[in-house]
Amino acid sequence: MMPIICSFGCGKEAKFFFKSGKGCCEKSPNSCEGKRKKDSEKKKGKFKGTPAWLMTGYKTTLPIIPWNKGKKGVYSDEYRKKISDALKGRKDIGKALTEEKELERKKKISESMKKNPLSGGLRKGSGRGKKGWYKGYWCDSSWELAWVIYNIENGIKFERNQLGFEYEYKNQKRKYHPDFIVSDTFYEIKGRRSFEKMDEENKEKIRQFKNNLVILYEKQMKPYINYVIDKYGKDFIKLYE
């Protein structure tokens, strides 16, 4: 069997696999020589904006539409299309072409995650919820699906976040992966728990996050969910591909 090659351009064998389906030679893509070289060539700066570790409590009846709706975000349309095409066909970073190969791919990812509990993309609670693909986007829950549907149908450009941000908890360095990016703002769909009811590790990784971050709890998710239920019914998870 041919080895799976690192998705970040170094040419080495992929040993660690992330939630996105990508494989990497290192636990973190930022440690990959190929990615570091590409980042250096692009000479991109860090995310700008006023740091905000928590933004909640929208007073509007519908989700706020960003002022820069329709403009290019963190990734270009060309790069987004490449990701979408790759996830639909390439077995090394996305969904396999056949059902048999897809089961084999999922098994490899599962085994890798069990061996490396702190590897990128594996988060506490990631095994819950109704998962699936929708128009090229991977959703970890029905709530994420509702958020994705709303944004697509309202012309709001977004990306599935591929970046991991380091935080420290109990003297251990770990990675935090927010769910999505809209322009330079990261979105985390948290679920039914409020910030006060989170465990200490979740609180700490949010506190240490330095970029713009919006946490969507149950209250903030209701407009998205109601929108999708009104249009497609309560069983909208049938929309998964």
Q: What is the pLDDT of residues 185-230, one digit of tens each?
A: 999 998 766 677 778 888 898 899 999 999 998 889 999 999 999 9
Does 3 lie in the same domain as 80?
no
197 or 6, greater pLDDT: 6
Among 26, 45, 64, residue at a domain's last position = 45
Task: Quote the tokens at residue 192.
Answer: 């039914």
With contact defined as beta carbons under 8 Å apart, do 204 and 169 qualify? yes
Does 72 lie in the same domain as 15?
no
Question: What was the pLDDT predicted at 93?
Answer: 46
In a domain, 114, yes or no: no
In a domain, 111, yes or no: no
In a domain, 102, yes or no: no
Does 61 lie in the same domain as 39?
no
Report the alpha-carbon distance of residue 210 to residue 222 in Å, rounded.
Answer: 27
Report the alpha-carbon distance of residue 147 to residue 202 in Å, rounded.
Answer: 21
In a domain, 17, yes or no: yes
Q: What is the pLDDT of residues 88-135, one digit of tens each?
A: 554 444 555 666 776 676 666 656 555 554 444 434 334 456 889 999
212-217 and 185-191 beta bridge pairing: parallel
In a domain, 84, yes or no: yes
Question: What was the pLDDT predicted at 28?
Answer: 84
Report the alpha-carbon distance of residue 95 to residue 132 in Å, rounded.
Answer: 11
Does 54 lie in the same domain as 30?
no
Q: What is the pLDDT of residues 44-99, one digit of tens each?
A: 544 444 444 444 444 444 555 554 555 544 556 676 666 666 655 544 445 556 66
Does 151 lie in the same domain as 222?
yes
In a domain, 31, yes or no: yes
Does 69 lie in the same domain as 10?
no
Question: What was the pLDDT predicted at 130?
Answer: 84
137 or 107, greater pLDDT: 137
Does 1 lie in the same domain as 53?
no
Does 76 lie in the same domain as 29?
no
In a domain, 98, yes or no: no
Does 141 lie in the same domain as 200?
yes
The tally of domains found in the chain comes to: 2
Question: What was the pLDDT predicted at 125?
Answer: 37
With contact defined as beta carbons under 8 Å apart, do 4 and 101 qualify? no
Report the alpha-carbon distance of residue 174 to residue 119 in Å, rounded.
Answer: 8
Quick check: 141 pLDDT over 80?
yes
Does 61 lie in the same domain as 41?
no
Give phi and psi for 120, each to the nearest 5. -60, 140
With contact defined as beta carbons under 8 Å apart, do 24 and 6 qualify? yes
174 - beta bridge partners?
Answer: 167
Report the alpha-carbon distance of residue 153 to residue 106 in Å, rounded.
Answer: 30
Does 8 lie in the same domain as 63?
no
Task: Quote the tokens at residue 68.
Answer: 């820069």
In a domain, 226, yes or no: yes
What's the DSSP call for residue 75? S
Banded model confidence at residue 1, pLDDT cuts 50, 70, 90: low
Q: Dihedral (C-alpha) 225, 55, 84, 25: value to the nearest 10 degrees?
A: -130
139 - beta bridge partners?
Answer: 132
Residue type, 32: C
Banded model confidence at residue 231, pLDDT cuts 50, 70, 90: very high
Does 52 lie in the same domain as 4?
no
Q: Is 172 exposed, middle or buried (0-12, 13-18, 19+ CB in 10 A)?
A: exposed
Question: What was the pLDDT predicted at 194?
Answer: 67
17 or 143, greater pLDDT: 143
Summarize the confidence of residues 22-48 as an average pLDDT: 76
Q: What is the DSSP string of 89-117?
A: H-TTTS--SSHHHHHHHHHHHHHHHHH-T
- Domain range spanning residue 31? 1-45
Q: Dihedral (C-alpha) 109, 114, 117, 121: value to the nearest 10 degrees?
A: 20
Quick check: 178 pLDDT over 90?
yes
